[in-house]
């Protein structure tokens, strides 16, 4: 929440020192990121040529019309597979927006050319669902599809078929990453919901994926993955267009209330639908089943969790799918994969014990048809919610629009930083200078090193204006600190005069006439824009006038400047350390005087 972050004094040197120190660290990080990307670009991977008529027939089995984003993502993947370089693409799309179809088409192109495809899923339920989907779509084609998870009845046969190359497409959980598994000729690895895999699994993945094509599917990428995509090290395709007829999920967050829960479950039953009741831990199941037994004896429920024998778990989820029960009481095992269009009410118990992307994934289990779905997210007591937990729940409630997963991941990155990019902890640097500046510096460094790895990287620079003036937004003018900070942020990135004018008009419209401090602040922003255009790095005001220094001692028209100083009648002088002194006229205030001098310099710059 930032309460333990030390603020630097405005105009002090600490901030610049921090930025310089972190910039040097970022250079090392960017160098490593570039090396990863360069290694990938230099690596060779199998080339899979453009689709043929068999591919078109395979696509025609897709029962829906592709959305525009889906079509673009599929085209991106096809181009990657044709490039001859290892693909490393992230497909970010909301739950039910058609990421699986992108994976199916990629798998078809690779498997039909005789290469093996591995699909890695976080849960046995998702592995089973993908297995059924792939079996259906690849029926009557010469492609062998296998499943390897704890639900598989014949693991030994599947492992043998993977080793001898008979298994064309293998779908499995982390069992696929065990040392026993050796693919004969792996061409494509598809990772579904990467955020669920641990560090060891990901390290193993890195070793596998040096020269094969990799496609990652996710609704809410972990901040690290999103950061890698945003810095251009991984390619990113976003599916933000919802399928036709899809409706947003009504989301309500409140302290646990038996009456509201009872009414929601009954209403779903009366409209012919089913409900999920999700708990964070197996030990929480009993309190929920006691509530259902006492308050809703007429409703049938079934319990499912990850410690059940796999056969029993599969039977129970299948029975729920067939509509034999009104409610499925479950742990977060249903977070990924269960696709039950008839289930359109979701209750989450003790939501403060779940992560943000976890809550988002769970919420995505409902609203998978054209029926309006409802998600009731409950917590036990408000004082148990930390400020970050509260921010995350508020984010989830505010992002109830369709296709919000990517925004949510960005929000998560804002709340908890982008995490460990390459094994070295970066969150300390982020805490010191803020995520937005950190991201900007990293992205800028990566881009510049990409263009020329040997080039000395120059910081984005901003003129420093030190005048004896109060320039700030008073608390008495805008009380809300978040709104004040937002205006400071917007002012800090302005590059055009008209933008300053627009913000001035907005301030007057929303908060009334501008105080003198705000007027002075807007004047300083305008001065900074002029300074940047003519390479002025620093302006300092003194008792009789002000000193100006050019960045790298460079002014476009030096001869004209020397003549200007010579004919100024001692009102303008060259000073030590390559500075120029301008005397203030008695009849002008400091801003008017400075603007007049800058107008002269702009004119000289044009000559």
Average pLDDT score over the chain:
77
Whether 234 maps to a domain, the answer reads yes
Rounded Cα–Cα distance for residues 329 and 137 (Å):
31
Clarify whether residues 533 and 581 are in a common domain: yes
- Which single residue is written with the structure tokens 């977060």? 332
Is residue 348's pLDDT more than 60? Answer: yes
Q: In the prediction, which pLDDT does 16 show?
A: 65
Which of the pair, 312 or 587, is modelled with greater confidence? 312
Q: How many Å apart are CA 88 and CA 494, to the nearest integer?
A: 35
**Which residue has tokens 């040197």?**
13
Sign for the CA dihedral angle at 503, 505, 509, 513 comes to positive
Among the candidates 239, 273, 295, a domain finishes at: 239
Q: Same domain for 496 and 527?
A: yes
**According to the model, what pLDDT value does residue 119 have?**
93
Q: Is residue 228 part of a domain?
A: yes
In this model, does residue 104 exceed pLDDT 70? yes
- The answer to whether residues 282 and 301 belong to one domain is yes
Query: Within this chain, do residues 500 and 587 fall inside the same structural domain, yes or no?
Result: yes
Q: What domain range includes position 507?
A: 464-606
Compare 396 and 527 and report the one with higher pLDDT: 527
CA pair distance 113, 82, nearest whole angstrom: 12
CB atoms within 10 A of CB 383: 6
Phi and psi at residue 538, to the nearest 5°: -150, 140
Q: Who has greater pLDDT, 93 or 275?
A: 275
Going by pLDDT thresholds of 50, 70 and 90, the confidence category of residue 454 is very low
Give a yes or no: residue 457 inside a domain: no
Q: What is the reported pLDDT for 77?
A: 93
Domain boundary among 219, 239, 259: 239
Looking at the structure, tell me whether residues 530 and 471 fall in a common domain.
Answer: yes
Give the Cα separation of 460 and 439 in Å (integer): 13
Note the pLDDT of residue 288.
Answer: 93
Residue 549 or 417, more confident:
549
Say yes or no to pLDDT of 292 above 60. Answer: yes
Q: Does the pLDDT value for residue 428 go beyond 50? A: no
More confident of the two residues 117 and 178: 117
Residue 414 has pLDDT above 70, yes or no: no
pLDDT of the residue at 584: 83
Q: 289 with 387, same domain?
A: yes
Is pLDDT at 604 greater than 80 in this prediction? yes
Q: What is the pLDDT of residue 69?
A: 86
245 located within any domain: no
Based on the domain organization, do 267 and 384 belong to the same domain? yes
Domain shared by 202 and 257, yes or no: no
Do 267 and 150 sit in the same domain of this protein?
Answer: no
209 & 314 share domain: no
Which of 209, 239, 269 finishes a domain? 239
**Which pLDDT does position 490 carry in this prediction?**
83
Where does the pLDDT of residue 313 fall: very low under 50, low under 70, confident under 90, or very high at 90 and above? confident
What is the tens place of the pLDDT at every residue in 163-207? 999 999 999 988 888 878 888 888 999 988 766 666 566 556 656
Question: Is residue 2's pLDDT more than 50?
Answer: no
Q: What is the pLDDT of residue 343?
A: 87
- The verdict on residue 414 lying in a domain is no
Residue 419 inside a domain? The answer is: no
Q: What is the DSSP letter of 570?
A: T
Between CA 462 and CA 536 the distance in angstroms is 9
The closest alpha carbon to 256, from 100, 382, 357, 383, belongs to: 382
- Cβ(179)–Cβ(319) below 8 Å: no
Q: In the structure encoding, which two tokens stand for residue 578, read together?
A: 């390559």
Helices (H) and strands (E) in the chain, counts: 21, 18
- Co-location of 299 and 332 in the same domain: yes
Is residue 422 in a domain? Answer: no
Residue-wise pLDDT tens digits, 4-59:
445 555 555 666 666 666 666 666 655 665 566 656 666 788 888 766 778 888 88
In whole angstroms, give the CA distance from residue 605 to residue 598: 10
Lowest-confidence range among 175-179, 270-274, 550-554?
Answer: 175-179
Q: Does residue 184 sit within a domain?
A: yes
Please, are residues 546 and 540 in contact by the beta-carbon 8 Å criterion?
yes
**Residue 469 CB: number of other CB atoms within 10 A?**
18
DSSP 523-568: HHHHHHHHHHHTTEEEEEE-SSEEEEEEGGG--TTHHHHHHHHHTS
The string of DSSP letters for 403-454 reads T-HHHHHHHHHHHH----SSSS--HHHHHHH-HHHHHHHHHHHHHHHHH-TT
Q: How confident is the model at residue 286 (pLDDT cuts 50, 70, 90)?
A: very high
Same domain, 218 and 304: no
| Domain CATH number, residue 507 | 3.90.1150.50
pTM for this structure?
A: 0.55
CB 406 within 8 A of CB 218: no
Angstrom distance (rounded) from CA 120 to CA 337 = 13
Structural domain total, the chain? 4
Q: What is the pLDDT of residues 197-230, one digit of tens each?
A: 665 665 566 566 567 888 988 775 555 555 555 5
The answer to whether the beta carbons of residues 248 and 74 sit under 8 Å apart is: no
CATH of the domain at 263: 3.40.50.300
């Amino acid at each position: 929440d930032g309460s333990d972050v030390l603020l630097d004094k405005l105009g002090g040197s600490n901030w610049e020192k921090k930025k310089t120190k972190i910039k040097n660290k970022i250079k090392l990080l960017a160098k490593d990121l570039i090396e990863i990307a360069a290694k990938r670009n230099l690596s060779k991977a199998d080339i899979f040529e453009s689709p043929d008529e068999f591919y078109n027939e395979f696509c025609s089995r897709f029962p829906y019309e592709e959305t525009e984003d889906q079509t673009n993502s599929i085209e991106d993947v096809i181009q990657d597979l044709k490039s001859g370089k290892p693909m490393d693409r992230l497909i970010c799309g909301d739950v039910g927006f058609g990421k699986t179809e992108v994976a199916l088409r990629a798998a078809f192109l690779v498997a039909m050319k005789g290469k093996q495809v591995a699909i890695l899923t976080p849960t046995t339920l998702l592995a089973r669902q993908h297995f059924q989907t792939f079996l259906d779509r690849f029926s009557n084609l010469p492609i062998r599809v296998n499943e390897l998870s704890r639900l598989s009845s014949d693991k030994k046969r599947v492992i043998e078929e993977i080793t001898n190359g008979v298994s064309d497409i293998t779908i499995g959980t982390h069992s696929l990453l065990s040392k026993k598994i050796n693919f004969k000729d792996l061409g494509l690895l598809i990772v579904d919901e990467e955020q669920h895999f641990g560090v060891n699994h990901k390290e193993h993945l890195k070793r596998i994926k040096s020269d094969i094509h990799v496609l990652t599917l996710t609704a809410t990428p972990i901040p690290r993955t999103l950061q890698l995509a945003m810095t251009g090290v991984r390619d990113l395709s976003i599916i933000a267009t919802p399928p036709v007829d899809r409706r947003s999920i009504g989301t309500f967050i409140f302290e646990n209330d038996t009456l509201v829960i009872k009414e929601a479950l009954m209403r779903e039953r009366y409209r012919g639908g089913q409900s999920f009741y999700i708990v964070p831990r197996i030990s929480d199941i009993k309190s929920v089943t006691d509530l259902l037994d006492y308050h809703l004896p007429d409703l049938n429920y079934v319990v499912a969790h990850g410690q059940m024998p796999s056969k029993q778990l599969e039977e129970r989820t299948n029975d729920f799918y067939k509509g034999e029960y009104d409610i499925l009481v479950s742990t977060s095992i249903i977070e990924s994969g269960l696709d039950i269009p008839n289930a359109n009410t979701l209750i989450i118990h003790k939501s403060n014990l779940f992560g943000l992307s976890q809550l988002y994934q769970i919420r995505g289990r409902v609203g998978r048809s054209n029926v309006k779905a409802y998600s009731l997210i409950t917590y036990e007591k408000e004082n148990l919610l930390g400020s970050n937990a509260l921010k995350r729940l508020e984010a989830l409630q505010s992002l109830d629009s369709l296709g919000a997963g990517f925004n949510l991941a960005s929000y998560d990155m804002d709340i908890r930083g982008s995490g460990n990019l390459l094994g070295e902890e970066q969150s300390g640097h982020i805490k010191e200078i803020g995520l937005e500046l950190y991201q900007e510096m990293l992205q800028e460094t990566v881009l510049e090193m990409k263009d020329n790895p040997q080039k000395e990287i120059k910081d984005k620079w901003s003129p420093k204006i030190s005048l004896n003036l109060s320039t700030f937004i008073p608390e008495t003018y805008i009380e809300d600190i978040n709104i004040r900070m937002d205006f400071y942020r917007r002012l800090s990135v302005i590059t055009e005069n008209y933008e300053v004018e627009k913000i001035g008009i907005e301030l007057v419209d929303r908060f009334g006439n501008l105080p003198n401090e705000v007027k002075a602040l807007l004047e300083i922003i305008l001065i900074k824009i002029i300074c940047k255009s003519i390479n002025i790095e620093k302006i300092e005001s003194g008792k009789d006038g002000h000193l100006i220094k050019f960045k790298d001692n460079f002014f476009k028209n030096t001869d004209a400047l020397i003549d200007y100083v010579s004919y100024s009648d001692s009102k303008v002088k060259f000073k030590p350390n390559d500075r120029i002194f301008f005397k203030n006229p008695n009849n002008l205030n400091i801003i008017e005087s400075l603007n007049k001098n800058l107008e002269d310099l702009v004119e000289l710059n044009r000559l």
